[in-house]
Amino acid sequence: MIFDTHAHYDDPAYEKDRKELFQLMRSEGVGLITDIGADIESSRKAAELSNTYDFFYAAAGVHPSEVYSLEEADMDILRELAKNPKVAAIGEIGLDYHYEDTVRDVQKKWFIRQLALAKEVKLPVVIHSRDAAQDTLEIMKDVHAEDIGGVIHCFSYGWEMAKIYLDMGFYLGIGGVVTFKNAKKLKEVVQKAPMERLVLETDAPYLAPEPYRGKRNASHYLKYVAEEIASLRSMTPDEVIRITEENGKQMYRIG
Ligand code: NI
């Protein structure tokens, strides 16, 4: 069964047809989904989804673009959410220097703080890192992230960087981008990485694979991602789905 290790079904994009879509996805071979928090409110909603649906797990954390209004008291909320047995990770957390209004020191502060929280509550982390390769790596080395574990979500750097994270014991999240023609770097990473360290993820509603690029994403579209990985590694899509499901369970320490 397909394990979508990273999705945002708490997003308003699913407000109208969430239930119907979940049924459709189930009938299309989706077995497990982790809904990922991006701020305090969506972390709460992710936990709610995981309480409502057997096949959902959740992650609680604050995305680097959402950290600017955080206070230390918000860490208490995340710590409480982490007590829920269906909350399987702290995330998504990290650094995103893509936008001009980025305040790097503030992002770094809350990235470090949430890594410490993950260590404290003994959960793996879901890392978001965009246009911030060096600073992300420096912080993860400083805090000994190899003792925390988790996934580099929507992995977007080259093989050299992938190798370092693999050596730290991290998994690489592979989604719709790998189906894009111009994704040469990522295709190379998918060919070279050990199969037991790849997990499937949509980042739904974003990053739909070909042939749905630009449309609202959904977990059953991961079959196109599995097909691309299979062709890059000379395997069958079914093998990719089976192995990445196992990897996802190991990574989130579930089942
Ligand atoms: Ni995400």
Rounded to the nearest angstrom, the distance between the alpha carbon of 155 and the centre of ligand 1 is 11
Q: 249 — phi, psi (to 5°)?
A: -65, -45
Rounded to the nearest angstrom, the distance between the alpha carbon of 182 and the centre of ligand 1 is 21
CA of 36 to the centre of ligand 1 (A): 7
Task: Look at residue 130 in the predicted model and tell me its pLDDT.
Answer: 96
Distance 199 CA to ligand 1 centre (A): 14
Q: How many CB atoms lie within 10 A of CB 12?
A: 8
pLDDT tens-digit series, residues 8-39: 999 999 999 999 999 999 999 999 999 999 99
Neighbours of 49 (CB within 10 A): 22
Domains of the chain: 2-251 (3.20.20.140)
The whole-number average pLDDT for the span 249-253 is 98
Distance 126 CA to ligand 1 centre (A): 9
Cα 129 to middle of ligand 1, angstroms: 11
Q: How far is the CA of 147 from the centre of ligand 1 (A)?
A: 23
Task: Give the pLDDT confidence of 122-177 residue by residue, as tens digits.
Answer: 999 999 999 999 999 999 999 999 999 999 999 999 999 999 999 999 999 999 99
Residues with CB under 5 A from ligand 1 (ion): 203
Of the pLDDT bands very low, low, confident and very high (cuts 50, 70, 90), residue 255 is confident
Query: What is the CA(206)–ligand 1 centre distance, in A?
Result: 8
pTM of this structure = 0.97
CA of 38 to the centre of ligand 1 (A): 7
Please check whether residue 119 is in contact with residue 147, taking contact to mean a CB–CB distance below 8 angstroms: yes
% of the chain residues with pLDDT over 90: 98
Q: In what order do the strands lie in the sheet with 87-96?
A: 2-7, 30-36, 56-60, 87-96, 125-130, 150-152, 171-174, 198-200
Q: How far apart are CA 215 and CA 74, in angstroms?
A: 33
